[in-house]
């Protein structure tokens, strides 16, 4: 019987595991992918918006070569953290089923079965992309994750979205030799929260015509060599080799619902939890990190949700002491 099962081996899941280790709690951290799986799937050349000290967990210093660390530096750092604390990690092991008994949880994974008194959900939101929900989205040419520009050299690219990911993809594929880059943007303009050094760049590229942008537009159909879309002017079709749909991601609501977690009646489907303990309305189920914001995925980040780990484990430890 474990004291804690943590679902998600991202930075916040690791932080929860570290605090559990400090408090002497029996704990396993599960992830369906690799260590810090979401960060691993970031673009290869990505630079974080945060400074390295804001990404630190477990009192392990994070030193980067520049003021803002890169993806590669972050992966190296979190590997070092996991090794330093000798965390009990079950990677590439997905959670298939969770059943609540009177006083504990039975958890079935892709490899084995476990029992735990408490569950901590720290799954983030990067695993489930928002779908375009149009005919042809299942074609191999449509990508919801972007790693590097090389495959798109000499190709006609359509980028969907206007936030940081879409802007980065459009600029990088353009500069690395894409034949053409066209942005299909639902909003009226490039997002105001785009990184301050990237926003003027993309606006200038659009203004000079290096990157074509259609605003208040949406894709209606995708075929092997053509994309159909509509905007306020009318209907259009353009030749196309790849569609890079940088439309954002959402939390794993299905898992939360299976655990009995309720949601606020708001547009963001915010999970119900006690911000003093991070325990949800479902007894024994705790939330930590980005998942706490529901659809509002820009509310919680590594830097402002690291403290969730302290709150969660303090509450779990207090309950155990009472028993």
Contact 241, 225 (CB under 8 A): yes
pLDDT score, position 268: 87
User: Which of helix, strand or coil describes residue 166?
Assistant: helix
Question: Which residues of the chain does CATH 3.50.50.60 include?
Answer: 2-128+249-322, 131-245
196-214 per-position pLDDT tens digit: 889 999 999 999 999 999 9
Q: CA torsion sign, 33 to 150 to 210 to 46?
A: positive
Topology annotation, domain 2-128+249-322: FAD/NAD(P)-binding domain (3.50.50)
298-311 per-position pLDDT tens digit: 788 899 999 999 99
Contact 74, 65 (CB under 8 A): no
pLDDT score, position 83: 97
Contact 270, 253 (CB under 8 A): no
- Strand blocks (E) in the chain: 2-7, 27-30, 89-90, 95-100, 105-109, 113-121, 128-129, 142-143, 156-160, 180-184, 212-214, 218-222, 226-230, 235-239, 242-245, 249-250, 285-287
User: Which of helix, strand or coil describes residue 322?
Assistant: helix
Nearest-angstrom CA–CA distance, 199 and 167? 8
DSSP run (H or E) holding 314:
helix 308-322
pLDDT score, position 46: 86
Topology annotation, domain 131-245: FAD/NAD(P)-binding domain (3.50.50)
Q: Which residues of the chain have pLDDT under 70?
A: 322-323
Contact 225, 155 (CB under 8 A): no
Nearest-angstrom CA–CA distance, 281 and 160? 37
pLDDT score, position 250: 82
* C-alpha gyration radius of the chain: 21
pLDDT score, position 248: 85
pLDDT score, position 323: 60
pLDDT score, position 301: 87
pLDDT score, position 156: 98
CB-based contacts of 157: which residues, under 8 Å, 6+ apart?
A: 170, 173, 178, 179, 180, 181, 182, 240, 241, 242, 243, 244
């Amino acid at each position: 019987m474990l004291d804690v099962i943590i679902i998600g081996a991202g930075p916040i899941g690791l932080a929860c595991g570290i605090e559990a280790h400090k408090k002497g709690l029996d704990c396993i951290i599960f992830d369906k992918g690799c260590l810090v799986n979401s960060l691993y799937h970031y673009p290869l050349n990505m630079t974080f918006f945060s400074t390295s000290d804001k990404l630190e967990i477990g009192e392990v210093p994070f030193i980067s070569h520049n003021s803002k660390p890169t993806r590669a530096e972050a992966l190296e750092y979190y590997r070092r953290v996991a090794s330093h604390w000798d965390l009990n990690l079950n990677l590439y092991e997905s959670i298939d089923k969770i059943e609540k008994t009177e006083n504990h949880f039975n958890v079935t994974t892709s490899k084995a079965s476990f029992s735990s008194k408490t569950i901590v959900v720290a799954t983030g939101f990067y695993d489930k992309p928002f779908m375009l929900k149009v005919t042809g989205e299942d074609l191999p040419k449509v990508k919801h994750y972007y790693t590097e520009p090389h495959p798109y050299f000499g190709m006609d690219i359509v980028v969907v979205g206007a936030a940081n990911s879409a802007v980065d993809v459009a600029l990088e594929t353009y500069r690395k030799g894409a034949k053409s880059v066209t942005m299909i943007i639902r909003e009226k303009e490039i997002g105001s929260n785009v990184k301050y050094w990237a926003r003027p760049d993309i606006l200038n590229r659009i203004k000079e015509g290096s990157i074509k942008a259609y605003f208040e537009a949406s894709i209606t159909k995708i075929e092997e060599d053509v994309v159909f879309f509509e905007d306020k002017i009318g209907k259009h079709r353009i030749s196309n080799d790849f569609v890079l749909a940088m439309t954002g991601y959402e939390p794993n609501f299905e898992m939360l619902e299976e655990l009995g977690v309720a949601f606020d009646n708001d547009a963001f489907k915010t999970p119900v939890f006690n911000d003093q303990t991070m325990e949800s309305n479902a007894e024994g189920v705790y939330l930590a990190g980005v998942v706490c914001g529901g659809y509002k995925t820009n509310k919680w980040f590594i830097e402002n949700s690291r403290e969730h780990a302290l709150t969660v484990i303090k509450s779990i430890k207090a309950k155990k002491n009472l028993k």
